[in-house]
Structure 1
């Protein structure tokens, strides 16, 4: 559709079409580059045994089991929260001050490393790779909107939980996060809309270049009087740009608002833990400001609109006039 749009813009303006190479969309860093090491706390075994009758002993025992040593990131987050809760409940019953100090230090350490564990349970999971894959091409024309909206609601709930964790409100039910990950694993709408953004930037710039080339050359109309060619240009503007390209731009804008902006918030809420390897991806593919994809798409759309206005204004046909 976008290639045809550039071709038809060139044809009605009596110019040769020019197609720029479409760059790759920002690519999510590999999992080993996204995941962060979690500091491990060692509890002396004799001290551990002395906690008999305290739930903390059960929690730590689960972590030291064979299954506990290979915890998935989300389960690790649940474990860390359970540890903190159990340790705090256990502290009033610990009679040995030295052991109580060790447990307090353990709680402080867990709280300090919690942002890292939260990061791994969101941006470090395998499932988000499916959501952001670039392998499924651009967003289809007439894409159904329910999927992006549902994913966005998932993210809003997840972001709400992270805001609470950032405020050290740890009494959370995180069962829903597993379902969020499952949804990520079977959808790829975010990667598609990133591909679409890069495609639109490139082809809109190509078409804008053609319009400006005509503006700088022979006028489409003289003295503001429409002619036959101007009417052909106007007809193509409405039949292709207004009726086909603009609805696609609107679809991309909707998915951006429903899905990309909550994803950007998911990263922004975790700036303190964000690894350097991820920051460039965040700035180029998710952030709404700066020099990233979405800012460049806004610029390309605005420039294209102004170019059409200037061209059609030569003939007294400016849209909206």
Structure 2
């Protein structure tokens, strides 16, 4: 018998340790290969829908291939520009505005950092300029009538174009580009779709503000930037579009199976066949039990989201850049016949009708 601490036992411990390390290394390499090859577990919702379609195909002997779901990317930054006037105070006029807070604000705009302002910062600058111009105009009216007229003209242009700067701050900024970024991930039922009331309200209040009755920019600027940042932290818009596009594709495929020749011959002369009973199990357990709850989640959460998006679009009375309008028409217009939402709704209705037809011919309609 080996004594405690003997060389033999030491060799066994080393051997065991090496074996464990080899096992761990092998496991880690296997996991890495799975990730690299894309063989990672899909979210439950996507997997459930795919499993449902696969089961349908097995029962109905239907061969199929699923092409990748295509959702167009949000327009590129260079395609999200709006024409605004280059109307500003020249250097001599700027130097003559001594005594106006506006001189400091304009000076910050012309600094190195000011020349590379983000879209949101540029909008807030225009807002602040208009707000501070009131006191400056009152001061200049008697002190320098000529400069007063010059500044008044500049302010009128900025007021007229403030909504264009607001559009650029929201729809033309990096935050919405991230929010609507292309995604392969579907929404989870635990994931909120609509914006939080605080975020939505502050964004809508700011972009809808009347340029002739501006509120104090200092009360809103931080909250507005934080609301935009919330967009940038999420990819909810992109996941929502991926969800609708993916569901539409799978539902259309399932409908093709249920309206196939095999399905139509499933119950000759209304006689229930073993295959029909299996299909009814697929209907009860996988369509009603797994897919339908997710479709219900999509509908329950869509109404508020559509209301928010529509309101943020309809604030602006002018058309955006062409690429943006095309994106809106295809993905953000709830009522457009060939838009994503209407195509999804048609796919869902057609799928229900297809199920009703098959189950009715077999006398298997629920309650029958």
Work out whether residues 261 and 288 of structure 1, in 8 Å CA contact, stay in contact via their aligned partners in 2. Answer: no
Q: Identify the residue that residue 182 of structure 2 maps to in structure 1.
A: 134
2:87 is paired with a residue whose SS is: coil
Residue by residue over 1:251-304, the C-alpha shift from the partner in whole angstroms, topping out at 9 and shown as x without a partner, is: 333453454552343233235151112111111121111111111101101111
Q: Identify the residue that residue 90 of structure 1 maps to in structure 2.
A: 136
2:161 is paired with a residue whose SS is: helix
Q: 1:18 aligns with which of 64, 71, 74?
A: 64
User: What is the 5 A alignment of 1:114-263?
Assistant: 114-135=162-183, 137-139=184-186, 142-146=188-192, 148-151=193-196, 154-165=199-210, 168-172=212-216, 173-214=220-261, 217-220=264-267, 222-223=269-270, 226-259=272-305, 261-263=307-309
Report the Cα distance in structure 2 between the residues aligned to 1:316 and 1:156, rounded to whole angstroms: 52
Report the Cα distance in structure 1 between the residues aligned to 2:227 and 2:235, rounded to whole angstroms: 13
TM-score (norm 2): 0.77
Report the Cα distance in structure 2 between the residues aligned to 1:49 and 1:179, rounded to whole angstroms: 34
| RMSD of equivalent CA atoms | 2.5
Counterpart check, 1:42 vs 2:88: yes
Highest CA radius of gyration, 1 or 2? Answer: 2
Report the Cα distance in structure 2 between the residues aligned to 1:169 and 1:206, rounded to whole angstroms: 54
* Alpha-carbon shift at residue 196 of structure 1 (Å): 1.5
| Cα 1:312/1:21, change in 2 over 3 Å | same
Residue by residue over 1:205-260, the C-alpha shift from the partner in whole angstroms, topping out at 9 and shown as x without a partner, is: 0110111114874253634x645433322211011111111122233334534545
Work out whether residues 266 and 275 of structure 2, in 8 Å CA contact, stay in contact via their aligned partners in 1. Answer: no
Gaps of 5+ in 1: none
Kindly indicate whether structure 1 or structure 2 has the higher relative contact order, using CA contacts under 8 Å at least 6 residues apart: 1
TM-score (norm 1): 0.88
2:260 is paired with a residue whose SS is: helix
| Cα 1:296/1:320, change in 2 over 3 Å | farther
Q: Identify the residue that residue 362 of structure 2 maps to in structure 1.
A: 315
After TM superposition, the structure 1 stretch with the greater mean CA deviation from structure 2, 177-186 or 292-301, is 177-186
Gaps of 5+ in 2: 1-46
Q: Identify the residue that residue 155 of structure 2 maps to in structure 1.
A: 107
Work out whether residues 151 and 259 of structure 1, in 8 Å CA contact, stay in contact via their aligned partners in 2. Answer: no
Report the Cα distance in structure 2 between the residues aligned to 1:302 and 1:153, rounded to whole angstroms: 35
Q: 1:57 aligns with which of 103, 126, 148?
A: 103
| Cα 1:35/1:292, change in 2 over 3 Å | same
1:205 is paired with a residue whose SS is: helix
Report the Cα distance in structure 1 between the residues aligned to 2:78 and 2:257, rounded to whole angstroms: 44
1:288 is paired with a residue whose SS is: coil
Report the Cα distance in structure 2 between the residues aligned to 1:219 and 1:201, rounded to whole angstroms: 25
Work out whether residues 36 and 120 of structure 1, in 8 Å CA contact, stay in contact via their aligned partners in 2. Answer: yes
* Alpha-carbon shift at residue 149 of structure 1 (Å): 4.1
* Alpha-carbon shift at residue 77 of structure 1 (Å): 1.1
